[in-house]
Amino acid sequence: MHAYCLEYLAPLLKPGAKCLDIGCGSGIFCSYLSAACGSDSTVVGVDHIPELVTMSKDNCEKDCPDALASQRVQLYLADGRKGFAAEAPYDWYKDVQRCLAMWAL
Protein backbone atom coordinates (compact mmCIF):
# COMPACT_ATOMS: atom_id res chain seq x y z
CA MET A 1 0.00 0.00 0.00
CA HIS A 2 2.80 2.45 0.86
CA ALA A 3 4.49 2.06 -2.52
CA TYR A 4 1.19 2.58 -4.33
CA CYS A 5 0.41 5.69 -2.28
CA LEU A 6 3.87 7.16 -2.90
CA GLU A 7 3.55 6.52 -6.63
CA TYR A 8 0.07 8.05 -6.73
CA LEU A 9 1.13 11.06 -4.67
CA ALA A 10 4.44 11.63 -6.49
CA PRO A 11 3.23 14.83 -8.25
CA LEU A 12 2.31 16.31 -4.85
CA LEU A 13 5.52 15.38 -3.03
CA LYS A 14 7.21 18.73 -3.41
CA PRO A 15 9.90 20.33 -1.27
CA GLY A 16 8.36 22.21 1.62
CA ALA A 17 5.04 20.34 1.53
CA LYS A 18 3.02 20.01 4.72
CA CYS A 19 1.39 16.58 4.78
CA LEU A 20 -1.13 14.91 7.09
CA ASP A 21 -1.16 11.13 7.48
CA ILE A 22 -4.45 10.11 9.13
CA GLY A 23 -4.18 6.62 10.59
CA CYS A 24 -0.36 6.69 10.55
CA GLY A 25 -0.12 3.21 12.09
CA SER A 26 3.50 2.09 12.18
CA GLY A 27 4.83 5.52 11.14
CA ILE A 28 6.74 4.10 8.18
CA PHE A 29 4.77 6.14 5.65
CA CYS A 30 5.51 9.32 7.62
CA SER A 31 9.18 8.49 7.36
CA TYR A 32 8.86 7.90 3.60
CA LEU A 33 6.99 11.18 3.15
CA SER A 34 9.62 13.11 5.06
CA ALA A 35 12.36 11.70 2.84
CA ALA A 36 10.36 12.28 -0.36
CA CYS A 37 9.45 15.90 0.44
CA GLY A 38 12.83 16.95 1.78
CA SER A 39 14.28 18.74 4.74
CA ASP A 40 11.96 21.75 4.62
CA SER A 41 8.76 19.67 4.71
CA THR A 42 6.51 18.82 7.64
CA VAL A 43 4.73 15.49 8.05
CA VAL A 44 2.03 15.18 10.71
CA GLY A 45 0.88 11.67 11.62
CA VAL A 46 -2.15 10.94 13.77
CA ASP A 47 -3.56 7.69 15.08
CA HIS A 48 -6.16 6.97 17.75
CA ILE A 49 -4.43 3.85 19.10
CA PRO A 50 -1.77 4.68 21.73
CA GLU A 51 0.34 1.60 20.96
CA LEU A 52 0.50 2.56 17.28
CA VAL A 53 1.63 6.09 18.09
CA THR A 54 4.37 4.60 20.28
CA MET A 55 5.33 2.23 17.44
CA SER A 56 5.33 5.19 15.02
CA LYS A 57 7.70 7.14 17.23
CA ASP A 58 9.97 4.11 17.67
CA ASN A 59 10.08 3.43 13.92
CA CYS A 60 10.71 7.06 13.01
CA GLU A 61 13.42 7.24 15.67
CA LYS A 62 15.15 4.34 13.88
CA ASP A 63 14.47 5.44 10.30
CA CYS A 64 14.59 9.25 10.38
CA PRO A 65 15.79 10.41 13.81
CA ASP A 66 16.80 13.83 12.49
CA ALA A 67 13.30 14.45 11.09
CA LEU A 68 11.70 13.46 14.38
CA ALA A 69 14.14 15.52 16.47
CA SER A 70 13.66 18.61 14.28
CA GLN A 71 9.87 18.10 14.26
CA ARG A 72 9.74 17.67 10.49
CA VAL A 73 7.84 14.53 11.49
CA GLN A 74 5.27 15.09 14.24
CA LEU A 75 3.21 12.22 15.66
CA TYR A 76 0.03 12.64 17.70
CA LEU A 77 -2.46 10.48 19.55
CA ALA A 78 -5.74 11.77 18.11
CA ASP A 79 -8.92 10.78 16.32
CA GLY A 80 -8.31 11.90 12.76
CA ARG A 81 -11.78 11.16 11.37
CA LYS A 82 -12.39 14.89 11.08
CA GLY A 83 -8.81 15.76 10.17
CA PHE A 84 -6.35 17.32 12.58
CA ALA A 85 -6.81 21.07 12.85
CA ALA A 86 -4.09 21.63 15.46
CA GLU A 87 -1.35 21.72 12.80
CA ALA A 88 -3.43 22.90 9.81
CA PRO A 89 -3.28 23.98 7.06
CA TYR A 90 -1.92 21.10 4.98
CA ASP A 91 -1.00 20.83 1.34
CA TRP A 92 -2.64 17.41 1.22
CA TYR A 93 -3.52 14.41 3.38
CA LYS A 94 -3.75 10.63 3.24
CA ASP A 95 -6.56 8.91 5.13
CA VAL A 96 -5.87 5.20 5.49
CA GLN A 97 -9.53 4.30 6.07
CA ARG A 98 -10.63 5.99 2.85
CA CYS A 99 -7.78 4.33 0.96
CA LEU A 100 -8.75 0.89 2.28
CA ALA A 101 -12.43 1.48 1.47
CA MET A 102 -11.54 2.58 -2.07
CA TRP A 103 -9.39 -0.49 -2.71
CA ALA A 104 -12.11 -2.82 -1.38
CA LEU A 105 -14.46 -1.83 -4.23
Reply yes or no on whether the pLDDT at 101 is more than 60.
Answer: no
pLDDT digits (tens, 9 = 90+) for 13-67: 889 999 999 999 999 999 999 999 999 999 999 999 999 999 999 999 999 899 9
- Helix, strand and coil percent figures for the chain, each rounded to 5: 50, 20, 30
Q: Is cis: bond before 89, omega within 30 of 0?
A: yes
pLDDT band at 76 (very low <50, low <70, confident <90, very high): very high
pLDDT for the residue 8? 80
| pTM exceeding the 0.85 threshold for the entire prediction | yes
